[in-house]
A and B are shown apart, each in its own frame.
Chain A
Amino acid sequence: MRVLKLWRYPANWAIFRLDDRLLLIFMAIIVGNCSGLASVILTRSLLAMSEWLHHLRSHWWVFVLPAIGAALSSLFLEKVVKEGAGHGVPEVIYSVSRYGGLLRFRSSFSRLISSCLTIGSGGSAGPEAPVVISGAAIGSNIAKYFSLNDRQRVTLVGCGAAGAISSIFNAPIAGMVFAIEVIVGEWKSVNIVPIAIAAVAGTEISRILQGNQIPFSHLLFKIDLLNVFACIGLAVLSAAAAILLTRMLRSMHTISHKLSGPLWLRAAIGGCAVGIIGLFLPVVLGEGYHAVEALIEGRYSQGLVFVALASFAKIAATALTLGWGGSGGIFAPCLVIGSLVGVTYHHFLSLLWPSALWANEGYYALLGMAGLISGMLQAPLTGIFLIIEITGGYEVILPLILVSAVTTTLCHYIEPASYYLKDLVEHGHLLRPGTDARVLTDLNVPELIERDCIIVKQNMLLRDFIQIVQKSHRNYFPVEDDKTGNFLGIIHLDDIRPYLFNPGMYDAVFLGQIMDTQVEVVHPGDDLSEVLRKMDINGLFSMPVVMNNRFVGLISKATILDQYRKELMVQTSH
């Protein structure tokens, strides 16, 4: 029994007690393997699904397939596991911000199944985000099982995400950078080391099971200065595409929410629309890795208008799938849209200036992908490393960095919060470590209450009160009702100053007459930022804390500053 107990608390093992880094590395290996496995499972089942449904592609009614898939996935999420639609990355960031990375166990498989239904049937979405939430949920639940604390759990959530992305793209650095840049948001060695280990573990699992291959290999490019400069134009174009995709996704979401009717029906409508687009442009269907391959290798031979149309169609299809309730991520669609935009740009350049020595389409497709990923996620490093790793094209690193940087900046200029973070920022749920919002959220009113106030009664005479004033250390005196004990108001020393040296008033004035009843009060459950806002507006330095009409204590700016500083020191310095 004792051994069992100890087993559940690895943080108390002698080797891990002083420093939890070893423990985290150890856990990171487990989490990385598990989430890597989850992503292999999803990739395999998507393959199986597309093979299984392949023979149906020739029928005329094939456009209802995405509808059926989306409806089933929506039904599964809503009725069976009772989770919201969407891709899951914001949920992970939300839980990291608010709940120390707590995620439900069912999240570790629910999105796998729903996204498999959506994407396998032809919906335009990616399998990465579902894998990320699965990996994160696996990390979170392993941390919960071993009773780790919040900080360790957040790191393991990051490990899960890193393992998942590393495994699905065979790209360890991209997984690592994604987990730190997007999920955890804190570049500290305590996080980076376990996350790196998890990325290695995740990649290794996928290499053992699926072989080590670069997903999108490409031809050699000849890059001269002209092509490096040309990529700036591509950056602008891909920023525009990223903004368009973000706006479309959000507007589709609003439109679909205006419709009454069950969720699965909305998802089916969206899926049906995608299916109809897919009848004419099959490139939009599914996660689209084949299309990306073809585009990078230059096998996609259609002309400028067709490719431009395909870009718009893919954007629309993605918005229809995800905005109307399908399940999946935006990683893969971004890659497809990016490569389409890149090829469009290449065709456009060739048309504009045919005699110049342009690099081939693959080069621009690759840069376009980097632009789209960086723009959508507003995470330039993730974009750079992901594209480098999935294409093996280190020779394009310079234009790649340029495109990523410019696109991120432009997108940030137009949409200050990335697609993942927009809702969180709007609701004030994005709390990155070491920020003011983080500290104010962690501190709460009950921790700041000062209880050494002397409570006085409403019917007390000024004479008796002056004797109390002599002994007290504070300038504020809360007044209570004699019978009910309810909080009535507060007396500040300033309020009695005029009567203090006038003994004639001592027996003539009751405290009930001089107290201030129009006081702003704080409730113990109030948000500290709200409390501080009230203090600033009214120019107060102290406020009474009142719960159920009873006075609990005082909260003052001096104490807040003291605690705020300690909290900030503990959260930031290392």
Chain B
Amino acid sequence: MKLTINEVAQCLRLPVTTVDRWIRQGRIPIQKSSNGYIVNESALEKWAAMYRLPFSLPKKVNAQPQKKRLENLLSAMNRGGVIYGIKGDDVETVLRGAVEKMQLPLATSKEKLYQCLVEREHLTSTGIGKGVAIPHPHDPLPDTFEKPVITTCFLEKPIDFNAIDDRLVFVMFILLSPSIKIHLHLLSRLSFCVRDNAFVEFLKTSPDSSAYFSKIADFEKQLDRADNS
């Protein structure tokens, strides 16, 4: 493979001007001839090792998908599904009811998941106000979930969730994610949606899943626009 002077600079993680000066000063084994530079890759590599300079060829294959987009709400919600009419009078029973009805990968222990959720509730309530709660485990569960899952649970009747604004909670978004990063990403998007009062009113009607998902899709578009601007 023939390296150009720009590629040499990339390999050494140096500006091209520095490499150019080094060639002029004779510090780097590259010769200048009447029509360009003569680069000997193996000699260059040996030289870099001798001076303990970092030297690695630019990776062309991995260069493309540099910024992997994080998954957004809609696919996670689709995966988790919507559950209506969850019975119960306190946090524990509601959570147990929701976990029982959730469609989870086979390997998942429902008991363990329930324990995680309750443990987190004991730290502080996940009721974020306006009658919405977002229960989630304290630590992500990378072993059980490869992809994030959000299950929307509408309760039969509002219950006291110890929410920050003391309002009764009528809807829960159970958020299960494989990593903290995805968790925070989804949490910030979800809270953006909940900030909208009209959406909260809409949720109170326990809408059917298609209308609900289309609303979420609208929010996603808004968010994406804000991100890309």
Question: Could you tell me which A residues sit within 8 Å of B by CB distance?
Answer: 5, 8-9, 11-12, 17-18, 20, 100, 147-152, 442-444, 446-448, 467, 563, 566-567, 569-571, 573
Interface residues of B in 47-103 (CB under 8 A from A): 50-53
A sample of 16 inter-chain contacts (CB < 8 A) reads: A17-B31, A17-B40, A18-B29, A18-B43, A149-B25, A149-B26, A149-B32, A151-B26, A151-B27, A446-B15, A447-B18, A447-B21, A563-B18, A567-B18, A570-B22, A573-B52
Measured in the bound complex, the distance between the Cα atoms of B32 and A8 in whole Å is 12
Digitize B6-45: 1 where CB-to-A-CB distance is under 8 Å, 0 elsewhere. Answer: 0000001011011001111111110111100010100100
Interface centre among B22, B40, B50 (most CB of A within 10 A): B22
Measured in the bound complex, the distance between the Cα atoms of B53 and A477 in whole Å is 32
B-chain residues with CB within 8 Å of residue A443 when the two chains form the complex = 18
Measured in the bound complex, the distance between the Cα atoms of B26 and A563 in whole Å is 18
Q: Which residue of A lies closest to B30 (CB)?
A: A149
Measured in the bound complex, the distance between the Cα atoms of B32 and A13 in whole Å is 12
A-chain residues with CB within 8 Å of residue B27 when the two chains form the complex = 151, 570-571
Measured in the bound complex, the distance between the Cα atoms of B134 and A113 in whole Å is 94
A-chain residues with CB within 8 Å of residue B17 when the two chains form the complex = 444, 446-447
Report the minimum CB–CB distance from B201 to chain A (whole Å): 25
Measured in the bound complex, the distance between the Cα atoms of B24 and A149 in whole Å is 5
B-chain residues with CB within 8 Å of residue A573 when the two chains form the complex = 50-52
Measured in the bound complex, the distance between the Cα atoms of B216 and A471 in whole Å is 25
Report the minimum CB–CB distance from A408 to chain B (whole Å): 31
When the two chains form the complex, which single residue of B15, B25, B28, B34 contacts A442, counting CB atoms closer than 8 Å?
A: B25
When the two chains form the complex, which single residue of A20, A151, A446, A467 contacts B25, counting CB atoms closer than 8 Å?
A: A151
Q: Which 10 A-B pairs have the closest CB atoms?
A: A149-B26, A151-B26, A150-B25, A447-B18, A447-B17, A447-B15, A570-B27, A569-B51, A11-B31, A12-B33
Question: Do A152 and B26 touch across chains, with their CB atoms under 8 A apart?
Answer: yes
Measured in the bound complex, the distance between the Cα atoms of B14 and A446 in whole Å is 12
Report the minimum CB–CB distance from A560 to chain B (whole Å): 13
Report the minimum CB–CB distance from B188 to chain A (whole Å): 12
Question: Could you tell me which B residues sit within 8 Å of A by CB distance?
Answer: 12, 14-15, 17-18, 21-29, 31-34, 38, 40, 43, 50-53, 229
Measured in the bound complex, the distance between the Cα atoms of B47 and A573 in whole Å is 11
Question: Do A570 and B24 touch across chains, with their CB atoms under 8 A apart?
Answer: no
Report the minimum CB–CB distance from B90 to chain A (whole Å): 36
Main SS class of interface, A: helix
Measured in the bound complex, the distance between the Cα atoms of B31 and A152 in whole Å is 12
Measured in the bound complex, the distance between the Cα atoms of B87 and A529 in whole Å is 74
Question: Do B21 and A442 touch across chains, with their CB atoms under 8 A apart?
Answer: yes
Report the minimum CB–CB distance from A180 to chain B (whole Å): 18
A-chain residues with CB within 8 Å of residue B15 when the two chains form the complex = 446-448
Q: Which residue of B lies closest to A148 (CB)?
A: B26
Q: Which residue of A lies closest to B15 (CB)?
A: A447
When the two chains form the complex, which single residue of A5, A12, A20, A566 contacts B53, counting CB atoms closer than 8 Å?
A: A566
Measured in the bound complex, the distance between the Cα atoms of B17 and A567 in whole Å is 13
Question: Do A12 and B31 touch across chains, with their CB atoms under 8 A apart?
Answer: yes
Q: Which residue of B lies closest to A467 (CB)?
A: B229
Question: Do B34 and A569 touch across chains, with their CB atoms under 8 A apart?
Answer: no
Measured in the bound complex, the distance between the Cα atoms of B15 and A444 in whole Å is 11
Question: Do A566 and B26 touch across chains, with their CB atoms under 8 A apart?
Answer: no
If the complex has contacts A151-B25, A573-B52, are A566 and B14 also in contact, measured as CB distance less than 8 A? yes
Report the minimum CB–CB distance from B149 to chain A (whole Å): 28
Measured in the bound complex, the distance between the Cα atoms of B43 and A444 in whole Å is 27
If the complex has contacts A17-B38, A563-B18, are A149 and B23 also in contact, measured as CB distance less than 8 A? yes
Question: Do A569 and B26 touch across chains, with their CB atoms under 8 A apart?
Answer: no
If the complex has contacts A149-B24, A150-B24, A442-B25, are A569 and B31 also in contact, measured as CB distance less than 8 A? no
Interface centre among A147, A150, A444, A448 (most CB of B within 10 A): A150
A-chain residues with CB within 8 Å of residue B52 when the two chains form the complex = 569, 573
Interface centre among A18, A152, A442, A447 (most CB of B within 10 A): A447
Measured in the bound complex, the distance between the Cα atoms of B31 and A151 in whole Å is 13
Question: Do B38 and A569 touch across chains, with their CB atoms under 8 A apart?
Answer: no
B-chain residues with CB within 8 Å of residue A444 when the two chains form the complex = 17
B-chain residues with CB within 8 Å of residue A567 when the two chains form the complex = 18
Question: Do B18 and A150 touch across chains, with their CB atoms under 8 A apart?
Answer: no
Q: Which residue of B lies closest to A567 (CB)?
A: B18
Measured in the bound complex, the distance between the Cα atoms of B31 and A12 in whole Å is 7
Question: Do B51 and A570 touch across chains, with their CB atoms under 8 A apart?
Answer: yes
Measured in the bound complex, the distance between the Cα atoms of B18 and A573 in whole Å is 18
B-chain residues with CB within 8 Å of residue A100 when the two chains form the complex = 24-25
Q: Which residue of B lies closest to A574 (CB)?
A: B50
Measured in the bound complex, the distance between the Cα atoms of B38 and A12 in whole Å is 8
Question: Do A150 and B26 touch across chains, with their CB atoms under 8 A apart?
Answer: yes
Interface centre among B18, B28, B50 (most CB of A within 10 A): B18
Q: Which residue of B lies closest to A16 (CB)?
A: B31
Question: Do B32 and A147 touch across chains, with their CB atoms under 8 A apart?
Answer: yes
Report the minimum CB–CB distance from B9 to chain A (whole Å): 11
Given contacts A150-B24, A563-B14, A567-B18, 11 further A-B contacts (CB under 8 A): A5-B34, A12-B33, A17-B31, A18-B29, A149-B24, A149-B26, A443-B18, A447-B15, A447-B21, A570-B51, A571-B27
